[in-house]
Structure 1
């Protein structure tokens, strides 16, 4: 993969395609995010950045899925600090592409910082393959509320 170009949008797209091709059954989710468990008694999960339907954030989704061994289907997966650190390290070369912002990297770094400062909090990766799929968890429900303002049923 070293011959792929991290410095251009086309190069990032090619890297995303390359990684996606290596995941058996890969299905690009319509939405995904990394969430933090609530810091208060509020049931709402904390999402520093949400990749909403229609946005183009394929590479972060496939990097995270690669680290977690996930196929992109609707799921909420526990995300250890080590897994998230590996995802940040894997995606960091994309910052060479200055034509794009990198909100996932910024959000993931914030989550790492929060995990370091408050070990009682937990992180999850939420993938939503189709908005019509059943809600997979409280974190998934919080994400979907963020996406559409509706109150999905668990």
Structure 2
């Protein structure tokens, strides 16, 4: 309902008198559906990035190093949570880019992430399939006995894999 109202407001708000006057985001009376779809795609693609980066990091670490690496990633995430809004606000100020500064900042962050991922992909070989395992689902309501049993099964699977080498 709110989306339909905002789209009709944008298309109706572009005509002022006899002239057409539109902002860049409301060019020629075009509805907001295209930028809204782009925003939805951005959310859909960026939300799983943190968990994917943690999983990728943990693929190359020993079990003893995982807590320290997770702590470092949480710290970096916190720095971004502090610096991101400040930087975005500065870029959106009238003296720099104005409102399009928000999208410029998001695009530059996504480009930097993609460039770094492409660089890292060329620096290290991927993990062989034999050294990977499937994910074990644990429900939040699982009892301590179930968690201990799952750990024992994983430990036994690791021992069997080492014996087969």
TM-score, structure 2 as length reference = 0.24
Point out the structure with the larger helix share: 2
Select the structure with the greater relative contact order (CA < 8 A; seq sep ≥ 6): 1
Computing the radius of gyration from Cα coordinates, the structure with the larger value is 2
TM (normalized to structure 1)?
0.26
Q: Which has the higher strand share?
A: 1
